[in-house]
Amino acid sequence: SPLLQPTETERCIESLLAVFQRYAGREGDSCTLSKREFLAFMNTELAAFTKNQKDPSVLDRMMKKLDLNSDGQLDFPEFLNLIGGIAVACHDTLVKAPGP
């Protein structure tokens, strides 16, 4: 049988996995984001969000809050909490946006 093309949702998941692995693989443990890898990810992949923060310590606080097991690294489930939180914020903004 012919291979099925991945759905839009499957492609999104593949992209999240690929991006996480690309940043996590830069140094140390390739299954986690170090603080430096997290900052590189935020400043590159979520630059619009990062630039809008008035407080420069916001990324430090985010890392601490996301690091549920307090090991100084973000594993993939912790990374997904970040993505989920940002997706919820984007969704809330869309829902609250005034209609045409």
pLDDT tens digits, 49-80: 888 888 889 999 999 999 999 999 999 999 99
pLDDT 10s digits, 12-32 = 999 999 999 999 999 999 999
Helix%, strand%, coil% for the chain, nearest 5:
65, 5, 35
The residue ranges of every structural domain in the chain are: 8-96
Residue 81 has pLDDT above 90, yes or no: yes
pLDDT of residue 100: 67
User: Burial code of 7-27, b = ≥16 C-beta within 10 A, e = fewer?
Assistant: eeeeeeeeeeeeebeebbeee
Q: What is the pLDDT of residue 56?
A: 81
pTM score, whole prediction: 0.85
Closest CA to 37 of 92, 88, 82: 82
Look at residue 1 in the predicted model and tell me its pLDDT: 61
CATH architecture of 8-96: Orthogonal Bundle (1.10)
